[in-house]
Chains A and B, each alone.
Chain A
Amino acid sequence: MFKRTRSTDDFAEEIKAHLQLEADELQREGLSEDEARRRARIAFGNVGAAQERFYLRDRMAWFDNLVRDIRFAIRQLIKNPGFAATAILVLALGMGVSVAIFGFVDAALLEPLPYTDPSQLMSVNESSVESPRWPLSYPDYLDWQRMNRSFSSLDVYSGAGYILNTSSGPEPVQAERVSGGFFQTLGVHPMLGRDFYPGENRPGGPNVLLLSYGAWLHRFGARRNAPGQTVDLDGRAFTIIGVLPRAFSFAPGGNVEFWVPLNSFSYHEKMRTFYAFWGIARLRPGVTAQAALAEMNPIAIQLQRQYGITGLDLSANVVPLEEIITGDVRPILLTLLTGAVLLLFIACVNVGSLVLVRSESRRREVAVRGALGATPARLVEQFVTEGLLLGLLGSLGGMMIAAGIMKLLGSLVPKDLTSNMPFLGNVGLNAHTAAFAAAVAILAVLLLAATPTLRLSFLEGREGMADGDRGSGSRFWHRLGANLVVVELVIAVVLLTGAGLLGRSLYRLLHVPLGFDPKHLATMSVMAPDTAYKNDEQVIGLYRELVRRVSSLPGVKTAGMTSMLPVQCNCATDRITFPGRPDHGEHNEVDERHVSPGYLPALKAALVRGRYFTEEDDPSHPRVAVINQALARKYFPGENPVGQKIANDESGHPSEWEIVGVVDDVREGPLDVETWPAEYFPINETRQNVFNLVVSTSQDAGALLPVLAKTLHQIDPDLAISDETTMTDKIDATQAALLHRFSAWLVGGFAMIALVLGVVGLYGVVAYSVSQRTREIGVRMALGAQRSSVYALIMRQAGWLTAIGLAVGLVCSVGSSLLIRSLLFGVQAWDAATLAAVAFVLALTSLAASLLPARRAASVDPMQALRRE
């Protein structure tokens, strides 16, 4: 016979038979039938207990109880779908958001960089007063490499653009020129082919290159025979020697497709004062970043002295490479994570309070079960199971929400940005996020299980059964619930203030004076091949033809060209001096732009003095310049700069430029940085093979872009065109705008959820207190209280909670805003308008949340309320 085959019924039958036999025997011994039955039963003892022991004989009792508890818990949840849905949704929301944000934090800050032993990798550069990270010049790099003892290797990289000739026409591509040991320093090995040979990076070395995994996949169809083939870059054949692994990315380089050894140098690049190479190095074992910096600083200073370099006060800069790659996003991500954790906390508090409310209403049930013999442990088990079930369902929902949010946020980040943050591609549900999610889930379950359990220990069994204390309300819950709501409201206020400030920052940022009109401007980047456009005549001929053809297009007002579009960066700078003034070697750094005559008019940049450029401003005429007001203010205070001269070192030749005009400050640098002094030179003077076309249109600029591209290709099919976009889109896509928009939207989203949660919490507390005070209200009304005074009674309670939450929240939010100061633009952390708006919104929503239960209280029928007890 197998263990499980015997049923409890069979066992009961046997006991029945026993009682019968015993009774028979007792009867035989002379007792009456009734007495015999009675005695037999007494002798047996507790039949029920025996049956229960049989039932439990070798089962795992706890498992049995668990199954029963789960069934009971599910029934409980189904009985209260509103409670269940709210609790699970709130929990899932809180978990989902925090797990998703953690996914980003993990990918950006916790996952190691895809290099060997990345903690030993340093970014090694010069450092100037203006910029703590200043690129190296090539001669400096060679000396640093030779002289240092701190690094086992030191390499440099420098971004480069090429025109790739493909079967479908020329295409501008991003490449990185790197010194020979670059990949060895990083500890990266090609997955196909080989790394550079030692000789290949010497000047005059062969034209070879390494492909990024993406380029191999998209341009060479992931064919294994790609190494050995040649690629046409700028009309020169480069041999592919290898393919980099899929996991490899180099964030500072962006979306680089080709890696070329540094073996040919332009005239400038050989100069000690041409700073264009960024260094990376691997620390020798046992050497710290500080020690390396302490060694490099004197080297940098000694070299400057040795070669008589003045004007730039350069020292060394040694920081972990990781900081360069993820340093920008760290404060944002940590801010977001803080927000997410706050949100999670609110969610847990809310669900905890909902569970508390329910455990309150189940006091009687608990008391009855206790009286029927359930041990306290058994009762606790029941509540723990319910918490477990809620927590599990919530966590499940949370994981789904997290996966959704990660996908959504990933797609929200524009492509331009992701190429500089390759780690964002690794955001997803992995071991780290799963562990985080599990930890959060366990905490949530513990909280949900602990709240009613704690409450239980306050229960007096008999008191609960009497059911009489329902009307008097539970002081305990009252106090706890009220405190929780205040905490929630404080958090909501803090997040709302953060969102408000970030939103205002974004608004300020997007409405910062640009100095030009970004509307109706079409832009694109053009690269003219060096091979076809070698001399001034050819290039200037192209400029003229381009402007002529584009200007004749319908809808085009003005067409112009610039070496660099506005609102991008304060790069491409120049060091100027002023002829006739003593030069003490000051570093007068200004933005340098080469523009065509039509450019400034196309931007509608207001002319303050003098004139714009004309077609005559070319190499055959005297050199002229236009400056912006910032330059005029800084270097010509109280003077008329028109007619005066500035001097610089143009392509290695000392040159003087006569100022012919002053324009309003066109914002060349990013939105969140003060406008720098800027100088404009005629593009005809200094030919640029790579330039940006800017066209002002009478209608929608976006619609003109395809026509423009077609026209350019009609002029010369070998022109490489890229980045076709409108000026407004271009500005919207700048780093500053994106970062501010991103953080404003995210914190705004958080704040909305926090507000909803806080208000739901407030509603819960007030509604609960109303339901507990029904009898009291009934008595008040029976004694003549007006409905309006009942309203006031309830609203006063809600009002107090809101007022306290608001007051504490506003104080906290000023503090927290100071923490996110670096993300604010043009707004103070204590911005009164934002704080007032937050207070108004919160007061209004709190009013709405308490109005509902107040109405219910006011509509209490005193007769019924009193009869209910």
Chain B
Amino acid sequence: MPSQKNPDDRIALLQGTLDLLILKTLVLGPCHGQGVARSIQRQSEEVFFVDHGSLYLALQRLEDKKWISAKWGVSENNRKARFYSLTAKGREQLVEKTSEWERLTRAMGLILGSSPGPSSEEA
């Protein structure tokens, strides 16, 4: 991965947060795995490092839970790719998980005090 940042500065994603990020990414429209990975990395300003193996397993997990659905299609540059899209159930989950997350970060912020830094997201 050609990264603009030093790899040491990147943060490994925590279990659970990845699911939320995937759902959030897919809310914009169907996307394949590589696209999701790129999108997360880009949107987090390259802070998050997405382990691809974990990403695909997370996709599979969400698919098994019927939060997302998948089908094989063709990418913009004419490559075969498996496209994921959000289901109705997935949308509900996104709303729920987002509010959960906000409550969590708020609570963490309160405990850790006035100086919210990037490290608070680690929690």
A17 beta carbon closer than 8 Å to chain B: yes
A24 beta carbon closer than 8 Å to chain B: yes
- Chain B residues close to A by CB (< 8 Å): 1-2, 32-35, 37-38, 51-54, 56-57, 60-61, 63-64, 66, 69-70, 75, 77, 79-82
Cβ of B79 and Cβ of A21 under 8 Å apart? yes
Q: Choose, from A39-47, A144-152, A824-832, the stretch at the interface.
A: A39-47
User: Which A residues lie within 8 Å of B57 (CB)?
Assistant: 50, 53-54, 57
User: Which B residues lie within 8 Å of A13 (CB)?
Assistant: 80, 82
Given A17-B82, A18-B33, A26-B2, A3-B53 contact (CB < 8 Å): no
Complex Cα gap A15–B53 (Å): 9
Q: How far is the CB of B40 from chain A (nearest CB, A)?
A: 13
Cβ of A43 and Cβ of B33 under 8 Å apart? no
Given A17-B79, A17-B80, A17-B81, A54-B2 contact (CB < 8 Å): no
Given A11-B56, A50-B56, A21-B34 contact (CB < 8 Å): yes
User: Which B residues lie within 8 Å of A14 (CB)?
Assistant: 33, 56, 81-82
Given A3-B64, A31-B2, A22-B34 contact (CB < 8 Å): yes
Complex Cα gap A24–B78 (Å): 11
A 35-64 to B, binary, CB cutoff 8 A, 1 in contact else 0: 000010011111101100110011000000
Cβ of A44 and Cβ of B53 under 8 Å apart? yes
Interface size on A, residues (CB 8 A): 30
- Chain A residues close to B by CB (< 8 Å): 1, 3, 6, 11, 13-15, 17-18, 20-22, 24-26, 29, 31, 39, 42-47, 49-50, 53-54, 57-58
Given A18-B34, A50-B57, A43-B1 contact (CB < 8 Å): yes
Cβ of B60 and Cβ of A57 under 8 Å apart? yes
Q: How far is the CB of A164 from chain B (nearest CB, A)?
A: 81
Complex Cα gap A507–B69 (Å): 87
Given A1-B70, A20-B79, A53-B53, A25-B60 contact (CB < 8 Å): no
Given A18-B34, A24-B77, A43-B52 contact (CB < 8 Å): yes
Contact partner, A21, options B32, B66, B70, Cβ 8 Å: B32
Majority secondary structure of chain A interface residues (helix, strand, loop or mixed): helix
Cβ of A45 and Cβ of B52 under 8 Å apart? yes
User: Which B residues lie within 8 Å of A24 (CB)?
Assistant: 77, 79
Complex Cα gap A47–B70 (Å): 21
Task: Using A14-B56, A21-B35, A39-B2 as known contacts, list a sample of 7 further A-B pairs with CB atoms less than 8 Å apart, ordered by residue number in A.
Answer: A15-B56, A17-B34, A18-B32, A18-B56, A21-B75, A31-B2, A47-B53
Q: How far is the CB of A865 from chain B (nearest CB, A)?
A: 51
Cβ of A21 and Cβ of B81 under 8 Å apart? yes
User: Which A residues lie within 8 Å of B70 (CB)?
Assistant: 1
Residue of B2, B34, B38, B60 contacting most chain A CB atoms (<10 Å):
B34
Q: How far is the CB of B54 from chain A (nearest CB, A)?
A: 8
Contact partner, B52, options A1, A29, A50, Cβ 8 Å: A50
User: Which A residues lie within 8 Å of B69 (CB)?
Assistant: 1
User: Which A residues lie within 8 Å of B81 (CB)?
Assistant: 14, 17-18, 21
Q: How far is the CB of A30 from chain B (nearest CB, A)?
A: 9
Cβ of A54 and Cβ of B56 under 8 Å apart? yes
User: Which B residues lie within 8 Å of A3 (CB)?
Assistant: 64
Q: How far is the CB of A446 from chain B (nearest CB, A)?
A: 38
Q: How far is the CB of A257 from chain B (nearest CB, A)?
A: 74
Complex Cα gap A808–B69 (Å): 76
Complex Cα gap A318–B16 (Å): 79
Complex Cα gap A11–B33 (Å): 11
Complex Cα gap A20–B2 (Å): 15
User: Which A residues lie within 8 Å of B54 (CB)?
Assistant: 50
Complex Cα gap A57–B53 (Å): 12
User: Which B residues lie within 8 Å of A42 (CB)?
Assistant: 1
21 A-B pairs whose Cβ atoms sit less than 8 Å apart in the complex:
A1-B69, A1-B70, A14-B56, A14-B82, A15-B56, A17-B81, A17-B82, A18-B34, A18-B52, A20-B80, A21-B79, A24-B77, A25-B34, A29-B2, A31-B2, A39-B1, A45-B51, A45-B53, A50-B57, A57-B60, A57-B61
Complex Cα gap A29–B61 (Å): 32
Complex Cα gap A46–B54 (Å): 11
Complex Cα gap A848–B52 (Å): 67
Cβ of A17 and Cβ of B38 under 8 Å apart? no
Q: How far is the CB of A775 from chain B (nearest CB, A)?
A: 48
Closest B residue, CB atoms, query A17: B81
User: Which B residues lie within 8 Å of A53 (CB)?
Assistant: 53, 57
5 nearest A-B pairs in the assembled complex, by CB-CB distance: A50-B53, A43-B1, A21-B34, A44-B52, A18-B34
User: Which A residues lie within 8 Å of B64 (CB)?
Assistant: 3, 58
Closest B residue, CB atoms, query A3: B64
User: Which B residues lie within 8 Å of A43 (CB)?
Assistant: 1, 52
User: Which B residues lie within 8 Å of A31 (CB)?
Assistant: 2
Contact partner, B53, options A25, A29, A49, A58, Cβ 8 Å: A49
Q: How far is the CB of B67 from chain A (nearest CB, A)?
A: 12
Residue of A21, A24, A42 contacting most chain B CB atoms (<10 Å):
A21
User: Which B residues lie within 8 Å of A17 (CB)?
Assistant: 32-34, 79-82
User: Which B residues lie within 8 Å of A54 (CB)?
Assistant: 56-57, 60
Closest B residue, CB atoms, query A51: B53
Complex Cα gap A627–B37 (Å): 116
Q: How far is the CB of B59 from chain A (nearest CB, A)?
A: 9
